[in-house]
Amino acid sequence: MRTKRIAVIASGRGSNFQAIIDAIKEGTVPATCIALITDNPKAYAIERAEQAKIPVIVIDYAAFASKKEYEQALLAAMQRVNPALFVLAGYMRIVGKEIVDAFSGRMINIHPALLPSFTGLHAQRQAVQYGVKVSGCTVHFVDDSLDGGPVICQQCVPVLDGDDEDALAERILAHEHRCLPEAIRLFCEDRLKIDGRRVRIR
């Protein structure tokens, strides 16, 4: 099977990015990662990319006078890279409509909750404070809503009585490292079809 070109967009330490790198290296995901794009020049994900010899593009959010100018620069960079799929792996900003429209059906995100519950930041904290018994992670296509695009796959994680935000986040993260590469694999094997709110897996 021919590999598909993917690019990752991340803001922080990049543990999900590392899971993608490892899955590609192991041959379980038929993809080639052609770029890391980050809004944070201090992101540890950059070091992971350099170790894996993946080109890095830094679009420093702090260097722009407005979000609009930043997003224009980000869109231009994404258009230059132009992979089959963009993977948001710990990207800590809401993607603007122009970018969403430009890459509709070609951009996925990992979120540390069972969507549609607990959208936005601090999803693990929201789950603990609400008192749910089960949380987890979701990989979904990105649309112009907040964490609201069609769901590709989810994994459940029990919320234990003694959990705080950090303990739950750590257990969810282990599942993210499996769920995200699986979603990328299905995309690269041309097995995903968006059908309204549903994602059909062929």
Query: What is residue 21's predicted lDDT score, i.e. its pLDDT?
Result: 98
Q: What is the pLDDT of residues 96-128, one digit of tens each?
A: 999 999 999 999 999 999 999 999 999 999 999
pTM metric for this prediction: 0.96
Give 62-88 pLDDT, tens digit per residue. 999 999 999 999 999 999 999 999 999
Residue of 52, 48, 62 whose CA lies nearest to 14: 48
Catalytic residues: 111
Read off φ and ψ for residue 139, nearest 5 degrees.
-105, 130
Mind listing the pLDDT tens digit for each residue in 2-12? 899 999 999 99
Domains of the chain and any CATH numbers: 4-201 (3.40.50.170)
